[in-house]
């Protein structure tokens, strides 16, 4: 049975549009529940449901849209109850040339190749495209990840970018202003020059948004080509000396700092 999100109520010959009632945060779809519990991705959960391998309270799940109560329902895959994994927070120095996905149809290297095999299912917090590198968080704490990704949280992401031209004052001013591109308004909260040679420059760009390929699109709008793009910080957490392809657990203080000081990038 379909569940309409909007309803029209007729009264005295007129239509009144009512907003849908928001569901409690613990009432989620089965794929989202399996993701929140740290078992698998939503895409993989849908596949498991289609194969008839998922039950809720002993009953087979037939539709991925089915909702469950995370506080009360018992989810199982192939008869094994799924319980929440311990929270894991890692920082990874993503190498250039690998993709931010678990399974790649083109058989390219992925960020999961950089992680130990004995970890619970972890999701990347945001993405870096294949040609980009640098700081990437991996976690099974979906609420923490959603907070960092929500533009309203104002968590700053800092990038060091090498471009194919000298970053003069005109270019820096253009990058500091909002750019209309692809039907979206792209903006940075800070743009600073780092160093220049005769034919190229390094600049620092700080965002609180995370739109698809945002830094590259902003620079392309100014006819500047990106030669290298490195994310060096998220919030107050910097990449530091972490080697390419290496990872380390975040300290408890670092996890909390990302919640409490979102706009710090120094």
Q: Cα separation of 6 and 168, whole Å?
A: 52
Same CATH topology for 26-81 and 157-234?
no
Task: Confirm if 123 and 143 have CB atoms less than 8 A apart.
Answer: no
How many H helices and E strands in the chain?
Answer: 6, 19
Fold of 89-151+237-260: Alpha-Beta Plaits (3.30.70)
Q: Cα separation of 189 and 156, whole Å?
A: 9
Active-site residue, 141 included:
no
**In sequence order, which residues have a C-beta less than 8 Å from that of residue 64 and are 6 or more positions away?**
29, 30, 31, 45, 46, 49, 50
pLDDT digits (tens, 9 = 90+) for 39-95: 888 888 999 999 999 999 999 999 999 999 877 888 999 998 887 778 899 999 999
pTM of the predicted model, to two decimals? Answer: 0.73
Pick the catalytic residue from 57, 81, 113, 129.
129
Range from 99-108, 170-179, 205-214, 239-248 carrying the lowest mean pLDDT: 99-108
pLDDT digits (tens, 9 = 90+) for 152-198: 888 999 999 999 999 999 999 999 999 888 888 999 999 999 999 99
- Collapsing DSSP to helix, strand or coil, 17 comes out as strand
Kindly state which CATH superfamily the domain 26-81 is placed in: RNA-binding S4 domain (3.10.290.10)
Helix 252-260 to helix 142-149 angle (10° resolution) is 40
Domain boundary assignment for the chain:
26-81, 89-151+237-260, 157-234
The CATH number for 157-234, chosen from 3.70.10.10, 3.40.50.150, 3.20.20.70, 3.30.70.1560, is 3.30.70.1560
pLDDT at res. 24: 65
Higher pLDDT, 4 or 257: 257
């Amino acid at each position: 049975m379909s569940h309409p999100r909007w309803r029209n109520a007729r009264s005295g010959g007129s239509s009144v549009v009512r907003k849908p009632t928001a569901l409690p945060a613990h009432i989620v779809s089965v794929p989202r529940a399996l993701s929140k519990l740290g078992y698998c991705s939503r895409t993989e959960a849908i596949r498991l449901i289609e194969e008839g391998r998922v039950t809720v309270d002993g009953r087979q799940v037939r539709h991925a849209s089915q909702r469950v109560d995370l506080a009360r329902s018992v989810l199982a895959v192939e008869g094994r109850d799924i319980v929440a994994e311990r929270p894991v927070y890692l920082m990874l120095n993503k190498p250039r040339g690998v993709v931010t996905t678990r399974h790649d149809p083109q058989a390219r290297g992925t960020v999961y190749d950089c992680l130990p095999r004995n970890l619970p299912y972890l999701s990347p917090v945001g993405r870096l495209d294949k040609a980009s590198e640098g700081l990437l968080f991996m976690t099974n704490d979906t609420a923490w990840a959603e907070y960092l990704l929500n533009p309203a949280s104002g968590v700053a992401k800092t990038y060091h970018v090498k471009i194919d031209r000298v970053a003069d004052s005109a270019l820096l001013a253009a990058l500091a202003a909002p750019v209309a591109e692809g039907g979206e308004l792209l903006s940075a909260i800070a743009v600073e020059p780092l160093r220049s040679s005769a034919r190229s420059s390094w600049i620092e760009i700080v965002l609180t948004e995370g739109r698809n390929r945002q830094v590259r699109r902003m620079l392309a709008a100014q006819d500047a080509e990106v030669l290298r793009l490195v994310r060096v910080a998220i919030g107050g957490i910097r990449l530091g000396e972490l080697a390419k392809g290496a990872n380390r657990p975040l300290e408890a203080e670092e996890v909390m700092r990302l919640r409490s000081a979102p706009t710090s990038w120094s």
